[in-house]
Amino acid sequence: MLPLMEAHPWAAYLDSGGEIVSTRSRWSFLCLSPAETLTLSGHTLLRNDHPVIGDPWQHLRQIAQTAVASDSEPDLPFSGGVIGLASYESGLKQNDLSSRHPSGTPSFLAASFTDVLAFDRREKRCRWISKAGNPPPDFTPRSGFPVNPPLCFIPDQDREDWMKSVRKIIEFIEAGDIFQANLTMRWFAKRPAGFNERAAYHALRATSPAPFGAWLKTPDVSLLSASVERFISLSAEGRIETRPIKGTAPAGKTEADKRRNTEILSVDEKELAENLMITDLMRHDIGRVSRLGSVAVPQLSKVEQFTHLLHLVSEVEGRLRPGLDAIDLLKATLPPGSVTGAPKKRAMEVIDQLETSARGAYCGSLFRISHDGAMDSSVIIRSLVRENQDRLSIGAGGGITWLSDPAREYDEMVLKATPLLKAFS
């Protein structure tokens, strides 16, 4: 299916990878030839490549409301609608903040799709959904496969600078300024001539299959993601769910390693505190748009495995207030709590003070909004981003608390980045 994307300037592949454990990981979707597009870069807002004025979120709402899909596939979680990307900096703006670093990516983009190729991983078959009755594209498998040269990534901080920033965050915590902050760093590489995104995505998926995998292709930015973290979901009936991830350990090479590391992670005081604070932050964010008394935490700090890593995963749920929609929910919760800190606004100020480059798409959110108003979204982590025509980037980070050890935090951050570095290097 993926070769089809190469002929389209705008295209999206939402790729459920890993084990098929629920409807969350059953379906993958290929979307080509959008009916409408929306891009915000700096102060320039383009709708269908034409300058427009107004609130980009209101334009998104208009596009989502007109992106009517076929109703012939009611069992599909997505049969048409909007797919979009909100950068980390777009979330800063929602909190009346801005970054001191220039960004190489649009702060916001979205496209509406009425034609969808859905792949059922459980039944191993494809379905073509087209509102206009268009014939399905030819997705006959093609022979041959491009091979990319190794990429040479250069970090934006060295080990000592990173640990110095960790120590500075601990000083902020000791002063009572914040409780936790998520510190990240980026690696940059020059995009070589002839770099093939399809080959790069296959390399990423081969090493890191993930429930929220994605390849989003636009003229201004491309995202190749192996995210394991759900940001926010919203059902057509108004049920909100978020699954923040905080706390990391290697899965190990054997089942004995996994059992031992699971036990250690499940009682690690620092990792549990980190997860608890972010879970509470997400309770607050969701509560801003939820019905009174509906917010609950059905799962707290449960160890789950994602390929080579173990994580502590919590679950927060609520019920959206009448009169609000998926766009109101996104605006109330961006950027994701697990990549910011607590208190959220002050943590974001500290992060911008200490980090040395804009996050851009990294730590933002990739989302889809269905024609019935339902939404699902991921936190953009474990991803390769084409920021412009000649620069590629990846990012990794971790939550810093008063109990953090700078050397251990650096090692954990590198542990998260290593699969990406190996996949492309």
Catalytic residue numbers, as ranges: 229, 246
Alpha helices, DSSP H, located in 224-370: 255-266, 269-287, 326-333, 344-354
Task: Extract the tokens encoding 165.
Answer: 């920033």
Residue 392: closest CA among 229, 152, 32, 83: 152
The contacts of residue 207 (CB under 8 Å, 6+ apart) are 307, 419, 422, 423
Bridge partners (DSSP) listed for residue 189? 392
Using a CB cutoff of 8 Å and minimum separation of 24, what contacts does 156-165 make? 156/185, 156/186, 156/187, 156/188, 156/356, 156/357, 157/185, 157/356, 159/410, 161/356, 162/406, 162/409, 162/410, 162/413, 163/406, 163/407, 163/409, 163/410, 164/406, 165/354, 165/355
Region of 160 (left: φ > 0; alpha: ψ -120 to 50; beta: rest) is: alpha
CA distance 5 to 12: 8
Dihedrals phi, psi of 324, to nearest 5 degrees: -110, 165
> CA 198, 200, 202, 205 torsion: positive or negative?
negative
Number of H helices, E strands in the chain: 9, 23
- One-letter amino acid at 420 equals L
The contacts of residue 351 (CB under 8 Å, 6+ apart) are 181, 182, 183, 184, 340, 341
Q: Are 105 and 97 in contact (CB under 8 A)?
A: no
Residue 399: closest CA among 193, 78, 169: 169
Residue 215: closest CA among 6, 12, 378, 4: 12
Q: 20 to each of 58, 278, 352, how far by Cα in Å?
A: 36, 27, 38
- One-letter amino acid at 54 equals G
